[in-house]
Amino acid sequence: MSKDPRAEALIGKFVNYIMLDGKKSLAIQLLNETFEEIKSKGQKDPEWIFMKAMENVMPKIEVRPKRVGWSIYQVPQEVKSKRQLFLAAKWILESVRSKKWTSFPKLLASELIDAANEWGNAVKKKLDVYKMAEANKAFARFARM
């Protein structure tokens, strides 16, 4: 499907996140239909769009709850690469599954194109996480405890 081994691994992982009830062949079919939909919307390389969308949605920092004494603080921390991929896929698929007005491949194609262009619900979710981390950066000192 793709020439880039990194893209191939990312697409394979994304297929696993799409999959429900162990139906991997259906998940692969949905992703292929999504790539066809991206092509029909005038984009030349759907894999590049996919990679760009994932790159734009992957968070570098997030807030995690940390208990200090009797209080729980939201502490900003760096996100490991595996979790970045998980969060990006989760946010994109949540955005797609929350809409019901048309087929899954069309919705996923439009969300991936939006994310590649740095707008859409998944990118908004990433920016919300960054705002939360910025608001709680005073508690960053608790991350090392």
At 15-52, the pLDDT tens digits run 999 999 999 999 999 999 999 999 999 888 999 999 99
State the CB neighbour count (10 A cutoff) for residue 43.
Answer: 16
Banded model confidence at residue 7, pLDDT cuts 50, 70, 90: confident
CB 30 within 8 A of CB 108: yes
What percent of the chain is predicted at pLDDT more than 90? 82
**pLDDT tens digits, 68-79:** 899 999 999 999
Q: Count of domains in the chain?
A: 1
The domain in which residue 62 lies consists of 5-144
CATH number of the domain residue 43 falls in? 1.10.455.10
Q: According to the model, what pLDDT value does residue 6 have?
A: 85
**pLDDT tens digits, 78-100:** 999 999 999 999 999 999 999 98
Q: Which residues pair with 66 in a beta bridge?
A: 73
